[in-house]
Amino acid sequence: MTSLLRVWPPIALGVLGLVLWELVVRLAGVPAFLLPAPSAIGAAIGQQFPVLLSTAGVTGANSLVGLVAGFLLGVVLALLAAWSRLLRELTTPVVLAASAVPIVALAPVFTTMFGSTTELPRRLVVTIVVLVPVFVSTARGLRQVAPVHDELMTALAASPWQRARFVRLPGAVPHIMTGLRLAAPAAVIAAVVAEYFGGLQNGLGSRVSSAAANTAYARAWAFVAASIVLGLLFHLAGLLAERLVSRGRT
C-alpha cells in the first residue's frame, strides 16, 4: 500500500509530461526532426517491435558480457592490488587514468583493431567502463579490515590467501555490490554509445544512428526508448542484487 503511494506520483508526472509533449508538438507544429510526437514514437515502437526486441537482445548481451567481464576483472585486480604493494602501485594509477579517459572514444579504434564483424570491440568498451567503479569500490572495501580481525588472523597463523578468503573478501562484499550497482546502467550506456562508431549494425545504438541518418526520426526515438528501458532493467537488476546480498548478511 505504501509502496503504491510512493510509485504513483512519478508515474502520474510521466504521463502528464507525455500529454504536454504531445500537445506542444501538435499545437506548435514542431517539425519531426526536432521532436516527434509521442504518438508517432508509439506507432514506430509498434511497427518495429520485433526488431526492437532483437536489437535490444544484442545490445543487452553486449552489456551483460562486458559487465560480467569488467566486474570479474575489477574484483581480481583490486584483490591483487590489496595483496601486493608493487601491484597496487602499478594498477591503481592505470585504473584511475582509465576513469579519466572518455572510454567510448576507444570504440572506433577497437573496431579497426578487431574488425567490424565481431561484437568484441563493444564488449571491450563496456568491460573497461565497468572495471573502473568496481575496482575503486572493491579496493576501498578490501582496505577496510577491522584491526581486531587482522590481529585474529595473525594469531590464527592464517596465510595471505586465507585472510583474503575469510576476512577481506567477505568484508568487502557490500562495497563490491555497490560498485556493481553503479556499473550496471553504465554498461548499457557504453554498449549503446559504442555502436554509434561503426561495426555491426545489429544493436540499438546502430539503429538509432542509422534511423536518424535516414530522417526516420520517430523510429530513432523508438530505439532510444528501448535503450532507456534496457538501461532501467540493468539498473534495477543491480539494485536488486545489492539488496539481496545485504539482506542475507544481517
Partner 1 sequence: MTGGAGTTAVRLSGLDKAFGPVEALSGIDLEVAGGEFVSLIGPSGCGKSTLLRVVADLEKPTAGTVEVGGKTAERARLDQDYGIAFQQAGLLEWRTVAENVELPLQVHGVARAERRKRAGELLELVGLADFAGSRPGQLSGGMQQRVAIARALAPSPKLLLMDEPFGALDEMTRERMQAELLRIIGETGAAVLFVTHSIPEAAVLSDRVVVMSARPGRITDVIDGCRPRGGAALAGQGVDGAEVVADEVDDVRESTAFFASITAVREALRKGHG
Stretch that binds partner 1, among 120-128, 146-154, 194-202, 216-224 (CB under 8 A): 146-154
11 binds partner 1 (CB under 8 A): no
149 binds partner 1 (CB under 8 A): yes
Helix axes 169-194, 49-83, angle to 10 degrees: 140
171 binds partner 1 (CB under 8 A): yes
154 binds partner 1 (CB under 8 A): yes
- Contact (Cβ atoms closer than 8 angstroms) between residue 55 and residue 203: yes
Stretch that binds partner 1, among 46-54, 94-102, 144-152, 195-203 (CB under 8 A): 144-152
Eight-class DSSP state of 196: G
| CA-wise closest residue to 207 among 18, 47, 13 | 47
Count CA atoms within 13 Å of residue 151 on its CB side: 3
Supply 71's cell numbers.
566486474
241 binds partner 1 (CB under 8 A): no
Stretch that binds partner 1, among 107-115, 158-166, 192-200, 233-241 (CB under 8 A): 158-166
- Contact (Cβ atoms closer than 8 angstroms) between residue 223 and residue 214: no
- Which of 156, 229, 240, 244 touches partner 1 by CB under 8 A? 156
160 binds partner 1 (CB under 8 A): no
Tell me which amino acid residue 82 is.
A
- Contact (Cβ atoms closer than 8 angstroms) between residue 32 and residue 218: yes
| Residue 149 Cβ vs partner 1, minimum distance, rounded to whole Å | 6
Nearer to partner 1, 28 or 148 (CB): 148
Nearer to partner 1, 21 or 83 (CB): 83
Supply 42's cell numbers.
508509439
- Which of 158, 200, 233, 241 touches partner 1 by CB under 8 A? 158
Under 8 Å CB-to-CB from 32, ≥6 apart: which residues? Answer: 40, 217, 218
| Residue 34 Cβ vs partner 1, minimum distance, rounded to whole Å | 54
Under 8 Å CB-to-CB from 109, ≥6 apart: which residues? Answer: none
19 binds partner 1 (CB under 8 A): no
Distance, CA of 194 to CA of 78 (rounded, Å): 26
Stretch that binds partner 1, among 42-50, 105-113, 133-141, 169-177 (CB under 8 A): 169-177
- Contact (Cβ atoms closer than 8 angstroms) between residue 241 and residue 173: no
Stretch that binds partner 1, among 8-16, 163-171, 202-210, 226-234 (CB under 8 A): 163-171
Contact residues for partner 1 (CB under 8 A)? Answer: 146, 148-149, 151-158, 162, 166-167, 170-171, 173, 249-250
